[in-house]
Every structure is written in C-alpha cells, then in structure tokens.
Amino acid sequence: MKIKSLSLTALILITIGFQLLAQTEKPIVDDKLIFEEKEGIVAVEAELFYKQTLTEIRQWYITSKGKLPSVTPNPDPEHIAGASGNAYIEILPDTRVTDADKLTDGINFSGTPGKMGVLHYKVKINHPGRYYVWVRCYSSGAEDNSVHVGFNNTWPEHGQRMQWCDGKNDWTWASKQRTEKEHCGVPKEIYLDIDKAGVHEIQFSMREDGFEMDKFILTSDIDYIPEGEGPAK
C-alpha cells in the first residue's frame, strides 16, 4: 500500500510539473534580436522580450489576436484595440484588483525590483548617457499601474516604482516615479544611466500584478513626450 501511495504521489507531482511547464509563456523571438538606439532614441514592442526569469509565482503573458492567456484569475477583458502591433503583455495571475484585496509582498506585489517576473530585452546603445524611460500602459484601476525598470541585472533607484494615475482605461504613455510625497509620480525621474556603448539588457520586473505593457522607449531627450503608438523603432 505504501508503494502504491508513493507511486500515486509521484504521478501527481509529475502531472503538476507538466501542467506548470505547459503554462510557461515562451518568447516569440530569440536572443539574436537586438534593438538599436539611433540618434538618442529606441522603441521596443513589449511582447518582443527574448526571455523572462523568476516566473515561479507571476509571469508575463502575451495577448494578441488569436492568442489570449488562459491563466486565471484575469478579471480584465482584453485590450488589443489600440495596442501597438495589435499585441501587448500582462503579468498574471491578477489577484489584487482593488485596495480591498489583500496585498501580499512577494505574491501579488513586489516592492523590491528584480525579484519577480523579470523581462529581458537586448538593446544596442550607440551613444552612452542618461536615457529616460517611457512605457505605454493600460491601467483600469489603482492596483495595476506600476512596474520597475533596470538594466544588466541592476535596479537603480531611478528605475524603481514607475507609476501611472492619469489615462485610465486607455493606452497611456508615462514616465513618472512614485515617491512617498507624490504617489502619482514625479515626471522626468525615471531614467537609466548607461555609461558604455554596446549591447545591454534592458529589464522590467513586476511591482503589481495585472500590469499591462504595450511598448517602451528609451530617449536621451529629457523633454521628449511620445504620442499615439510612439515611434516604430
């Protein structure tokens, strides 16, 4: 009986393991895809990450025409309309939709960057310096509107707590940092100081589950403000 019990347990564990592997979102590009900064700007479609790491609890899923995430809970409807390239990504499952839902750091929230749901993109920087980061996000509430950004496995202070308040229920560009005094974010405070030319890994990590990202831009122009779907590349 003990042998049969152990065999059944092993079978259940193997089955669960296969189910988890089946649910893993595979990238649609590989590590040979490198985006290139030209004249101080580069734009990247969010769904074109070449890998994601630390996905055991939350991971990013692609939504596009004919491809909807099956993971639950995912209380929002799809927002393909208006998304650049008719595709975007969302970090799921989404268990904290309103402030009445329990916040659990390390599960549906990550105050520390680089700990959960990390996206990886390769970007060639030709002109080293300070790059301001803009992201096009779809937020439908107060608990799906922030993310962290870093590069080369570092998470500098000015890449943390990227925040949205305006532009609810629409695709909206922003580049603001949440602070203790300004919860809706301070403009021009989200940036990466990249001091060497060459290929770098730009990375995003979860802050709140349910966050939806369409596209991001790195620009050396402090006064740049993207419009519409932003530049093509």
Tens digit of each residue's pLDDT (9 = 90 or more) over 137-182? 999 999 999 999 999 999 999 999 999 999 999 999 999 999 999 9
Number of Cβ within 10 Å of residue 134's Cβ equals 22
The boundaries of the domain holding residue 182 are 27-219
* pTM score, whole prediction: 0.90
Mean pLDDT of 200-228: 98
Does residue 83 sit within a domain?
Answer: yes
Does residue 21 sit within a domain?
Answer: no
Mean pLDDT of 184-206: 98
Tell me the percentage of the chain whose pLDDT exceeds 90.
88
Q: Which two tokens stand for residue 156?
A: 């500098």
CATH at 57: 2.60.120.260
CB-facing half-sphere around the CA of 60: CA atoms within 13 A: 31
State residue 13's pLDDT score.
36
**Whether residue 14 has pLDDT greater than 80:** no
Task: Region of 108 please: left (phi>0), alpha (psi -120 to 50) or beta.
Answer: alpha
Task: Region of 156 please: left (phi>0), alpha (psi -120 to 50) or beta.
Answer: beta
**Whether residue 54 has pLDDT greater than 80:** yes
At 233, the pLDDT band (50, 70, 90 cuts) reads confident
Q: Which two tokens stand for residue 147?
A: 């993310």
Does residue 39 sit within a domain?
Answer: yes
DSSP summary character for residue 107? T
Does residue 228 sit within a domain?
Answer: no
**Whether residue 124 has pLDDT greater than 80:** yes
Mean pLDDT of the chain: 91
Does residue 22 sit within a domain?
Answer: no
Does residue 137 sit within a domain?
Answer: yes
Mean pLDDT of 78-85: 97
What is the rounded distance in angstroms from the CA atom of residue 153 to the CA atom of residue 151? 5
DSSP summary character for residue 99? T
Strand-pair category, 162-163 with 59-64 = unpaired
Does residue 49 sit within a domain?
Answer: yes
**Whether residue 4 has pLDDT greater than 70:** no
Domains identified in the chain, total number: 1
What is the rounded distance in angstroms from the CA atom of residue 36 to the CA atom of residue 163? 26
State residue 144's pLDDT score.
97
Q: Which two tokens stand for residue 101?
A: 């839902």
Sequence length of the chain is: 233
State residue 24's pLDDT score.
78
What is the rounded distance in angstroms from the CA atom of residue 125 to the CA atom of residue 198? 5
State residue 23's pLDDT score.
63
Strand-pair category, 35-36 with 118-125 = parallel
Does residue 41 sit within a domain?
Answer: yes
**Considering only CA atoms, which of 152, 105, 110 is closest in space to residue 131?**
152
β-partners of residue 89 are: 62, 213
